[in-house]
């Protein structure tokens, strides 16, 4: 069977694309290597998605999925894509459970948190090192933790950790944050959060679990130690695009035009895995809608 559209990724971009292609009466299937919802399922609080003053990421993900299912979108979870073969009008999706043939593809595969590369980081994953506060914050109740980073992810997760941790120390390599101003205001007004500026993480130290971190001041090169029970790292994102043989930037994000078209006809991209000036739920949703409409027009002309 040859589908009209295969959507790769079950986050906001992919699920929105699914809603639009099914409204266009196309034969479509969405495949996701994990559970539906993408990274928003581990977001504690969403307060910048229009129509919802406050909602948890998990609850919003459920609403996206329910909306897509209402229109009859077929979804397959726990299915990993290894490659896309371009045979002209037919694309072959190579998956962990076999091949899927389709006339068009919408890649909405999102990103994965970047590893910092500090000494001890990999050794202590699951033993004090984490990349998800909402996943692991519970284990640090009444303990002291360090958050590495100064962007929105780092600051919103630091704020979330104050619900459990006794103290949260944000370590940032610059002397000012990159997060949205409203998030900065929340963090600066939170008495449990303190900041260490102009420093980078050199090493994570401990025996069986994290006990302390070694920091280096980027301006003075002075080395310091900080006792901590946990380290949460938010230093960027890696696009999940290794399976896609299309034009990308130097970091692996897929390059598109304003119609979400890639360098390969019939392959479209939406959401965080593409080159974009802003990675938010609302922009992913917009991308998904555009990609779906572009795919539908491509199919009409093919």
Active site residues: 132, 135-136
Please tell me the total number of residues recorded for the chain in this structure: 302
Q: How far apart are the first and last CA of the chain?
A: 18
Contacts 24+ apart (CB under 8 A), 40-46: 40/11, 40/12, 40/281, 42/132, 42/134, 42/135, 43/134, 43/156, 44/133, 44/134, 44/156, 44/160, 45/156, 45/160, 46/281
- How far is Cα 98 from Cα 82, in angstroms, rounded to an integer? 10
- Give, for 80, the enclosing helix (H) or strand (E): none
Is-contact 231 239, C-beta < 8 A?
no
Could you count the other beta carbons within 10 Å of the beta carbon of residue 278? 8
Burial of 299 (0-12, 13-18, 19+ CB in 10 A): middle
């Amino acid at each position: 069977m040859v589908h009209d559209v295969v959507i790769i990724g079950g986050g906001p971009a992919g699920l929105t694309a699914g809603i639009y292609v099914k409204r266009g009466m196309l034969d479509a299937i969405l495949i996701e290597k994990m559970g539906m919802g993408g990274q928003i399922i581990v977001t504690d609080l969403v307060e910048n998605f229009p129509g919802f003053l406050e909602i948890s990421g998990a609850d919003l993900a459920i609403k996206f999925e329910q909306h897509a299912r209402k229109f009859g979108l077929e979804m397959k979870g726990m299915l990993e894509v290894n490659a896309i073969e371009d045979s002209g009008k037919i694309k072959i999706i190579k998956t962990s459970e076999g091949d899927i043939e389709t006339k068009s593809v919408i890649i909405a595969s999102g990103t994965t948190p970047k590893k910092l590369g500090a000494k001890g980081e990999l050794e202590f994953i699951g033993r004090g090192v984490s990349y998800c506060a909402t996943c692991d914050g519970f284990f640090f109740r009444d303990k002291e933790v360090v958050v590495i980073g100064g962007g929105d992810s780092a600051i919103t997760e630091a704020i979330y950790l104050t619900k459990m941790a006794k103290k949260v120390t944000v370590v940032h390599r610059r002397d000012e944050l990159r997060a949205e101003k409203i998030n900065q205001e929340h963090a600066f007004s939170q008495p449990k959060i303190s900041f260490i500026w102009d420093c980078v993480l050199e090493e994570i130290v401990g025996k069986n679990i994290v006990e302390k971190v070694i920091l280096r001041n980027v301006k003075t090169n002075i080395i310091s130690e900080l006792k901590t029970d946990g380290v949460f790292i938010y230093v960027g994102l890696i696009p999940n695009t290794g399976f896609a043989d299309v034009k990308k930037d130097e970091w692996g994000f897929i390059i598109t035009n304003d119609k979400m078209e890639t360098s390969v006809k019939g392959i479209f991209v939406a959401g965080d895995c593409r080159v974009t000036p802003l990675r938010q739920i609302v922009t992913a949703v917009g991308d998904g809608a555009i990609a779906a409409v572009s795919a539908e027009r491509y199919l009409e002309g093919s």
